Structure 1
Amino acid sequence: MSIFVFGRDLTSSGACDHLCSVDETSSQEYEANSDLLKALAIFGAAVTGIVAINHSWVAANQDLAMALLVGIGYAGIIFEESLVFNKRGVGLLMAVSLWVIRSFGASSTDVAVAKLMHASAEVSEIVFFLLGAMTIVEIVDAH
């Protein structure tokens, strides 16, 4: 008599059936490959960031640098499952990096702070409007 739990035959000495062993082997290879891919992606992003920050190319070509960063960020979000990244973390890092790039082109700190305050005021207006609208929709939906 064999007892199977989650694809494992508990009557034998820790051995799996043919499906279990394939699943475990492939999942172990996947975990090993995902760790390597994740390490390579983080290393590549760090090297790219260091090289970009040390050159004045970013300040001269802000729009292109920001477009490249958005592309890299979306690639990180798209391949989130294979790289085992958190989508929210990638999105937050992308947003912070975009603001850092935008501040490189500012002539002074005061100009950078003024740009940040203006943009955050616009975003805050939209967020507060959406919070109010979503609250009204939830109240109507609840009743």
Structure 2
Amino acid sequence: MRFPLKTIYPAIAGLAIPSISSGAETTSFDNQVTPVLEEYCIGCHGPEKQKNDFRIDTLDRDFINGRDTETWHDMLDVLNLGDMPPEDEPQPTEAERQAIVDWITTKMVHAIDEKRSTGGQGVLRRLTRYEYNNTMIELL
């Protein structure tokens, strides 16, 4: 069976896009989020000191299958409210704060979409008792 090149090239491009986007997410985290967390957060929530038994450096960045999605959500709430860092500590600029908020929000939206997705599979639903009885009556 021969496939025209017009169908093969888009398929190859479609397979390459997810790997490109995941690399961009890592770059965004490493370049924009990590420096801000290290400067303003790791001092109180890092390996040497853990206020409220909370460590940022050990949080799982996998929002889909990871164990720390709720913690990231709590962190997003604290950042949006301006509760962290405390007022007596150095504060990130609005752009730095927004970079973290945007990264967490983007990852959460992606995780929600991924969890809701059926992966292209049709979802079979079960018949209610009433529907099952009517189906059996019609078949017999």
**How does the TM-score come out when normalised to structure 2?**
0.34
> Larger relative CO (CA 8 A, sep 6+): 1 or 2?
2
Between structures 1 and 2, the one with greater helix share: 1
Normalised to the residue count of structure 1, the TM-score between the two structures is 0.33
